Amino acid sequence: MRDVAVIGVGMQKWGELWAKSTRDIFVESALLAMDDAGVDTLGAMYVGSMAPGLFADQEHLGSVMADYLGQKLIPSTRVESACASGGLAFRLACMDVASGMHDVVLAGGVEKMTDIGGGDATHALASAADMKWEAVHGVTFPGLYAMMAVAHMAKYGTTREQLAHVAVKNHYNGSMNSRAQFPMKITVEGVINSVKVADPLNILDCSPITDGAAAAIVVPADMVKDFKKAGVKVIGTGHATDTIALHDREDLTTLAAVSASAEQAYKMSGKGPRDLDFVEVHDCFTIAEIIVSESLGLFERGKGGPAAEAGDTGLEGRTPINPSGGLKSKGHPVGATGVAQIVEITEQLRGEAGKRQIKNARVALAQNMGGSGGSSVVHILEVM
């Protein structure tokens, strides 16, 4: 298999983009990535999108997006793994290039979530859980993660304040990201006193409903010298699944698919948790960032909460988590999130991240989750 690298990335500002359609949003970010790389034709493309049928009444996005991106007759594949659709699209683009099938492949992700009402959006998101045996009882996505939080608090003593610190840190980072949907700074008290969603999670523990897209261009590593900008090498990839229903997992305080996908990527790259200069992880809810940080091996089981509270995960901390602002501040257009993590890592490793730049960052990891941990995709990237 060939080594592969990212040679271009693109992402427009995220938010409630009522004037723009799903295809507009996608094509704008895809063109930014293609311009960044300096290419105008693609060998193939992969489009991560969780539920365009439910959110925007349109399926068959492989065709829609290749058509509107002006790429005639190329193989274009829509990829779905709930909120990990974007990460999985990136993985498939890497595998495509690594196999030798194509040389210039676009990995994109998109979701247009605000055309429908909040209740309908909650329903669409619930379809990433077990509709027949979980959602039928009225449990929502915040509800599933709230139940993980209750279990984690009972087992390890994780506190309500520690959860809040994750949100405060991510909004602080997001305040320096011009593309974030909610770049405002918040406080621990503000999180704790915000509207209750599913106990113990409040609205400021939850990632928002967002319209947005992101894109990356993947090429063989030995072709990077032919392009104008620096490439970032993809040195590890992993993907794992777990039970669709949260209740079928023996341990509700860890995420086995996250650990399994990370192990694959660690093994392939020869890197471990201590080699990472920063990580972008799937903080769909504050408790998710804490559990993921433990499941990736960044902290011991039960130490993710204290680490967040102590500032170990801040921009200047031991292992910075979500310098981009994470899903929490940047927004969470579900199909685009995994690709946006690659955008952030590429910009950080190229030294293009501005005020939130992590000094001397050379190796970073992205973790993108589907549902309540029914799937997870991990990538490790390194400066070339």
Footprint of other proteins on this chain (CB under 8 A)? 117, 119-120, 122-123, 126, 132-140, 142-143, 146-151, 154, 195-201, 243, 245-248, 252
Q: How many whole angstroms separate alpha carbon 244 and alpha carbon 248?
A: 8
- Please report how close the Cβ of residue 311 comes to other proteins at its closest, in angstroms: 28
Residue with the two structure tokens 């992101």: 214
Stated as kind and residue range, the H or E segment containing 305 is helix 304-310
Nearest to 281 by CA among 271, 270, 273, 289: 289
Q: State which residue, 123 or 303, has the beta carbon closest to other proteins.
A: 123
Shortest Cβ 146–other proteins spacing (Å): 4
Q: CA 52, CA 26: separation in Å to the nearest integer?
A: 12
Least separation in angstroms between CB 156 and other proteins:
13
CB 90 within 8 A of CB 108: no
Sheet with 105-112, strands from edge to edge, namely 76-79, 44-48, 105-112, 211-220, 4-10, 232-241, 375-383, 363-370, 278-280
Q: Which listed residue (152, 165, 239, 332) is catalytic?
A: 332
Q: Which is nearer to other proteins, 65 or 197 (CB)?
A: 197
Nearer to other proteins, 121 or 223 (CB): 121
State in angstroms the smallest separation of the CB of 257 from other proteins: 14
Quote the CA–CA distance of 196 and 216 in Å, as a whole number. Answer: 37
Please identify, using beta-carbon distances, which residue of 137 and 225 lies nearer to other proteins: 137
- Minimum CB separation of residue 85 from other proteins in Å reads 21
Residue 152 vs 169, nearer CB to other proteins: 152
Catalytic (active site) residue 83: yes
- Out of 60, 83, 102, 206, the active site residue is 83
297/271 Cα distance (integer angstroms): 12
Distance CA 379, CA 280 (A): 10
Active site residues: 83, 332
